[in-house]
Structure 1
Amino acid sequence: MRTTLDVELRWRATHLTLAIATCGAVALAAAVIAGRWELVAFAAPFLGVLSSLSWQRPAPAVRVHGEPASQRCFEDEQSRVTVWAEVHSGSGAVELTVSALPGMEVEVIDSTGRYSKTVVVVASRWGRYPIRARVDVVARGGLLRGTGFADAAHIFVFPLTPPQSTPTPQTDLLDRLGAHLTRYIGPGVEYADIRPYVPGDQLRAVNWAVSARRGRLHVTQRLTDRAADVIVLIDTYRQPPGPATEATERIARGAAQVVQTALRNGDRAGIIALGGNRPRWLGADIGQRQFYRVLDTVLDAGDHFEHTTGTLAPPAAVPAGAIVIAFSTLLDTEFALALIDLRKRGHVVVAVDVLAGSPFEDEQDPLVVRMWTLQRFAMYRDMATVGVDVLSWPGDFSLDQAMSALPDRRRRLRGRA
C-alpha cells in the first residue's frame, strides 16, 4: 500500500532573480541620478530577462509517493521506506530530501537521481513518526524556486514490554475455561477432593487406587481453571510539566505489559483511552493480533478501534465481570470519576499511580512536599473506601513488583459476609 500526496509549493525568487533585479535597479538608479542614457542600455538586458517570466514554461505540479504508506515496528527495529517525487504537469528541476522527527535516525541506502530515495529508519523510543519529504523545485528558467513538504509515510513504533508477567486481581471469574486457578470444582488439573462415585460421573475421573482400597468406586474432584476479561484504562488527559510528563512513558509500557500478560494466559483483553480530543476504545478479544490492535489504539493509529465522547468509559467497552486496570497520574478529577463509575457498575477496579515523584520537588520548603505526600495517601484511602484500589508504582520498581500488592477481593468479600 502506498500513499500519494499533492505537494503545495511556496514560490519565491531565486538568488539569480534577485541578483538580476539588483543589477538592473542599480543601473536605472545611476542613469536617473547621473543623467546618462547609456546606463539604460546597460540595464535593458536585465529587465528583458525579468520580463520573460510571463512566457516561460509553467511551473510544475509535484506529487510525492511513499511505499509503504504506514509501517509498524518495535523500538530499535529498522524499517525501510521508499519515497519518490513525480512531476505530473509543467516542467522544472526537482530535488527530493527525506527527513524525520527528532528521535528517529534516517539513513539513505539507495538514491535514484533526485526523484527517488530509499531510506532505513530506526527509533529508540515508541511513538508516531512521520517520514517527511521536502521537495525543492526550480522553474521558469531558474527565476523561481518552490519548496513544499509532505508526510509521505508514517512509522508507528511500538514500546517494548518486559518479559515479567503481571498478577491479576483475585476475584470471582466468569464461567469460562482459562488459565486462572479458582476454588470451584470443575474441569481442571489441580487436585481438590475425592468423593464417592454417582451415576453420570465420567469414568476417566475414577480414582482406581482409592476405589480398590475402599471397596467401592470413588472419583477425583479437581479445581477448575477459568478465564478473565481484562480492560486497561489509560489516562490521556493533558498533564502539567514536571514528573507528570514523564509518566506518559510508563502509562504506555504498563498498558502493553498488562495486555501482553492477559493474552498469554488466554484471557480476553481490551483498552480504553480517556481524555484528549479523541477518546477511543477497543473491545476485549483474544489472540496475538489483539496485542497489536491494542498498541494501535494507544498510538491512535489504524481503524480497529472505536471513538467515543464524554469522560466515562462506554458500557459496550467493558464486558460484565471484567477486571479494569487503570494507569494514570490521578491528577485529573474526571479520570477519577470514571474509575468510581466503573466500580459502581460492579467491576473490580485497580488504579496504578504512575506519578514517580512530587510536582513540587523543586520547592525550597520541604513542608510543601510533605503536605503533597499526605494528600496522596489520603486520596488512596478515599478511593479504597469506594472500592477502587490504588497502587503506587515507584520509579525504582518494576510493574510486576508494584502489582504484587494487589488485594484479594474474594477474601475481602468473604470477610464482610
Structure 2
Amino acid sequence: MIDERSVDVEITWRTSSLTRALATCAGIALAVAVVTSQWQLIAFAAPMLGLLASIRWQPPPRAVLVHATPGVLRCFETERVTLTVRAENADLTIEPCAGMDIESDTRTTELTVSAQRWGRYPVRARCRVSARGGLLTGTGTVDAAELFVFPVAPPQVTPLPRTELLDRLGTHLTAYVGRGVEYGNIRAYVPGDQLRSVNWPVSARRGSLHVTERLSERAADVVVLVDTYDQPAGPATAATERTVRGAVQVVQTALRNGDRAGVVALGAQPRWLGADIGRRQFYRVLDAVLAAGADYEVTSGTLAPRAALPAGAIVIAFSTLLDTDFALALIELCRRGHVVVAVDVLSRAPFADDQDPLIHRMWAMQRSFMYRDMRTIGVDVVPWPDDQPLDQVMQLVPDHRRVGRP
C-alpha cells in the first residue's frame, strides 16, 4: 500500500495587485475631485470603493491541503524515484532544496527526484491562492514529502575483529572442533563418534578406526556505534561522510555473512536498533542511521542501552573522538565485556592548515597518547586515513582470541 501524506498549509495573506490598483485609482480620483470640485470623478470612483468595501461579504478563504504520494521516499545515491504532489484550492510550485535534483514539467504533479549525496531532503511545495473575490492573495510553503537518500557502501568485505565468537552456527571459521566443513585433524575412533565421520582410507592403512575432525564455523553479533554529536566546522564536519559510509559497510558485510547486525547512534537524539539478520535488517539500519521511519527505538542519556547490545557482541564505533561523552560510552561498553573497536575517521587536525607546524605536531602527539590510553583501558583505536579503504584499516585490529584450545 502506497503511503499518502496530506499536509495543511499555513497561508500568509496580503492584499492582491487588484486591490492595490483599485485603491490607487479610487484615491487619485477622489483627490482630483476634491481639488477640481468635479463630482463626476466621485461617481467614477464609487464602483471601485464599493468593490473594496465588499471584501467583508466575499466568501472566506478555504483550507489549502497538499497531498504527496508517497509521503516518504527512500532510495540510494543517484537513484531516481517518482512521486505525485497535488494541491487543493491553490496553485502549486515545487522548490528544490540544495543537493536535490527535480525533473518535472511546468505545473505538473508528477516529479522525478534524485540526489548525489546521502542525507535527508524535504520536497518543498509553495502554494499560491486567491480569496475574497481576488482582493486577497496568499502564499505558503510546506514540506510535502521527505526523501531519504541512503549511502552506497563499497563492495569490499570488511573483516571483523578476531575474537571468541558465540557458539552459534555461522560462517566464520574457528580453531575449535565442531560441525563444519574445513579439515581439522585425524584421531582414533572413540565410542560415540558418528560413523559418517570415520575416515575409511586412513582406517584401512592404520588397521584401526580413525575419524576426521572438522573445524566449527560460528556466527557473530555486530553492533555499529555511530557518533552523531555536533562537530566543529572544518575537517571534523567532513568526517561525518566517512562515519556513515563506514557504518553501512560494516553492517552490509555482517549481514552478508549471516551474522546479526544492529546500530546505536549516540548524540543529541540517541536511537538504536537491535541486532537481527536478513536483508530487511539492512534497510532498517539505514533508517535508524538517518532517523527515518519508526522501526528504531529512541532513548536518552549518553551511554548505549544494554538492550541494544547482546551478550558477547562485537562493537565497532565510527567517530572523530572529539566528544568526551562518546569516549566514555566506549569505555563503559568495554567494562561490560564487549570487544570494542573505535575507528578514528578524523584523518587530520580539526583546524586550518595554515597554523604553525608545531601545533600540528602537538595535535598528532596528543592523538597518539589518546590511542595508547584507550588501548590500556581495552578499547582498540585504529586510524582511517583518506587514502586507505576500510577493509585494510580493520586488518590492524589486534587478535583477541585465546591461545590454544579448550
TM-score, normalising length from structure 2? 0.95
Residue 73 of structure 2 corresponds to which residue in structure 1?
A: 71
- SS of the equivalent of 1:61 reads coil
Q: How does 1:195-234 map to 2 (within 5 A)?
A: 195-234=187-226
State the 1:376 CA deviation.
Answer: 0.7
CA contact 2:77–2:150 (8 Å) conserved in 1? yes
Residue 93 of structure 2 corresponds to which residue in structure 1?
A: 97
Q: Return the alpha-carbon distance in structure 1 between the equivalents of residues 403 and 195 of structure 2.
A: 35
Residue 14 of structure 2 corresponds to which residue in structure 1?
A: 12
Residue 289 of structure 2 corresponds to which residue in structure 1?
A: 298
Is 1:329 the counterpart of 2:329? The answer is no
236-245 or 364-373, larger mean C-alpha shift: 364-373
Residue 179 of structure 1 corresponds to which residue in structure 2?
A: 171
Q: How does 1:312-351 map to 2 (within 5 A)?
A: 312-351=303-342
Unaligned runs of 5+ in 1: 88-93
- SS of the equivalent of 2:342 reads strand
Deviations 1:1-52 (CA, angstroms, capped at 9, x unpaired):
2111222211111112112222223333444456655543443233222112
Structure 1 letter corresponding to 2:74: R
Is 1:84 the counterpart of 2:86? The answer is yes
Is 1:133 the counterpart of 2:114? The answer is no
CA contact 1:97–1:134 (8 Å) conserved in 2? yes
Q: Return the alpha-carbon distance in structure 2 between the equivalents of residues 347 and 341 of structure 1.
A: 9
Q: How does 1:236-247 map to 2 (within 5 A)?
A: 236-247=228-239
State the 1:218 CA deviation.
Answer: 0.4
Q: Return the alpha-carbon distance in structure 2 between the equivalents of residues 36 and 332 of structure 1.
A: 80
Structure 2 letter corresponding to 1:337: L
Deviations 1:182-205 (CA, angstroms, capped at 9, x unpaired):
111101111111111112111111
Structure 1 letter corresponding to 2:395: S
State the 1:80 CA deviation.
Answer: 0.5
Residue 104 of structure 2 corresponds to which residue in structure 1?
A: 108
Q: How does 1:18-417 map to 2 (within 5 A)?
A: 18-32=20-34, 37-87=39-89, 94-108=90-104, 117-276=109-268, 278-410=269-401, 414=403
Structure 2 letter corresponding to 1:202: Q
CA contact 1:139–1:145 (8 Å) conserved in 2? yes
- SS of the equivalent of 2:286 reads helix
Structure 2 letter corresponding to 1:99: E
Structure 2 letter corresponding to 1:325: I
Q: Return the alpha-carbon distance in structure 1 between the equivalents of residues 180 and 350 of structure 2.
A: 49
CA contact 1:233–1:325 (8 Å) conserved in 2? yes
Q: Return the alpha-carbon distance in structure 2 between the equivalents of residues 398 and 182 of structure 1.
A: 26
Residue 91 of structure 1 corresponds to which residue in structure 2?
A: none
- SS of the equivalent of 1:43 reads helix
Q: How many residues align?
A: 402
Q: Return the alpha-carbon distance in structure 2 between the equivalents of residues 392 and 408 of structure 1.
A: 17
TM-score, normalising length from structure 1? 0.93
Q: Return the alpha-carbon distance in structure 2 between the equivalents of residues 117 and 224 of structure 1.
A: 58
Q: Return the alpha-carbon distance in structure 2 between the equivalents of residues 123 and 153 of structure 1.
A: 15
356-365 or 200-209, larger mean C-alpha shift: 356-365
Deviations 1:80-109 (CA, angstroms, capped at 9, x unpaired):
00011124xxxxxx3111233211111115
Query: In the superposition, relative to structure 1, how do residues 143 and 370 fare at CA in structure 2: closer, same or farther (>3 Å)?
Result: same
Two-structure CA RMSD over aligned residues (Å) = 1.6
